[in-house]
Structure 1
Amino acid sequence: MLQGLYEAHLPVKDLEVSMKFYEKLGLKFAWRDEDTAFYWIEKGKSWLGLWEGEEVQTPYHPALRHVAFRVTYDDLKESLKWLESIQIEAVPFGSQTSVDPFIRPHQGNASVYFDDPDGNSLELMCHVDVPDELKHIEDKLSFDEWEKLLDELK
């Protein structure tokens, strides 16, 4: 029945500023009205709604103000360079001090984080195939650490 996510929404302070930011990410404009704009993440499949209003003052929590965009593994490895090329700074996740992308073997995914102009948490994320021997690892691993473990299994 379910085939994927169609839409997600984020609160923003200034719709014009936010529209420019999300266009910089490569999202394609779909439509807008007075206080709302929608951007295609994948045209005809999923979009992001930006809502200008007081809700932007809601304190950040990942259940309320967070969106993860799917990317490839190779793109995630290059994500810091890409973000820098569009003048966006990556931010550390949680209590981490590094902004580098990392692997979560026990979840089978990898991520890097950054914020939009309103402090909404954005994530570039990909699926990672994890060999059974490594699925127990709950630590967050750098790409170098991850690829070294994979080489050791060969």
Structure 2
Amino acid sequence: MIKGLYEAHLPVSHLETSIDFYQRLGLKLAHRKGSIAFLWIEKEKSWLGLWECEQVKIPYHPSIRHIAFQVDLEDIQKTKAWLEERNIEVREAFGFLPEHQPLVLPNNPQAHASIYFRDPDDNSLELIAPLRIDVVEDFEMMSLDDWYKQKGLSLD
């Protein structure tokens, strides 16, 4: 029945600034009317709704102001440079400084590599790539580089 997530929404304070920001991430403007815009994440599969409104001033909480965009594992090592090329700064996450990201999230029985940044309204954004699914393995959160070393794997 359910095939995936079609849409997610974020509050923004200045629609034009936010449209520009998300277009720098590669999203394509699908529709804009008044204080609302929709951008394709993947055309005909998923989009992001941006709502210019006062609610952007509510305190951050991941349940209401966080979006994780999936990327391929092959691309996760390139994401920091890719963001920097677009003048987007990687932020500290879970005590890991930008230079130690991507980091590995041990959410058993899954593990994911992630890198974190913010949009112009301080909404939390994440680029995430699955490392393993349905495998229980206890370990502490660590940088992806350290995870590869621990596994005896090469980054190439």
Verify same fold: TM over 0.5.
yes
Alignment length, in residue pairs? Answer: 149
Matching of residues 40-119 of structure 1 within 5 Å: 40-94=40-94, 96-99=95-98, 100-105=101-106, 106=108, 107-119=110-122
Q: Where in structure 1 are there 5+ consecutive unaligned residues?
A: none
Instruction: State the shift of 1:130 in Å.
Output: 6.5
Deviation (angstroms), 1:79: 1.0
SS at structure 2 position matched to 1:80 = helix
The CA deviation string for residues 69-90 of structure 1, in whole angstroms up to 9 with x for no partner, is 0001121111111110110000
Distance 1:131 1:146 in 2: 17
RMSD: 1.6
Q: Please state how far the C-alpha of 1:97 moved relative to its aligned partner.
A: 3.9
Percent sequence identity over matched residues? Answer: 48
2:131 maps to: 128
CA offset at residue 93 of structure 1?
Answer: 1.0
**Separation in 2 of the partners of 1:130 and 1:26?**
27
The residue that corresponds to 2:20 in the other structure is 20
Instruction: Give the Cα separation in 2 of the matches to 1:97 and 1:6.
Output: 31
Question: Post-superposition, which runs of at least 4 consecutive aligned residues in structure 1 deviate over 4 A?
Answer: none
My pick for the range that moved more, 72-81 or 1-10, is 72-81
Alignment of 1:137-152 (within 5 A): 137=139, 139-151=140-152
Partner Cα separation in structure 1 for residue 133 and residue 19 of structure 2: 37
What displacement does 1:143 show?
1.7
Gaps of 5+ in 2: none
Give the TM-score taking structure 1 as reference length: 0.91
| CA distance in 1 between partners of 2:97 and 2:13 (Å) | 28
What residue is the counterpart of 1:9 in the other structure?
9
Provide, for residues 88-133 of structure 1, a one-character-per-residue CA deviation record: whole Å limited to 9, x for no partner.
0000113x1412111124331111000000000000001112695x
| Residues 5-53 of structure 1: CA deviation (Å, up to 9, x unaligned) | 0000000000001000000000011001000000000100000000001
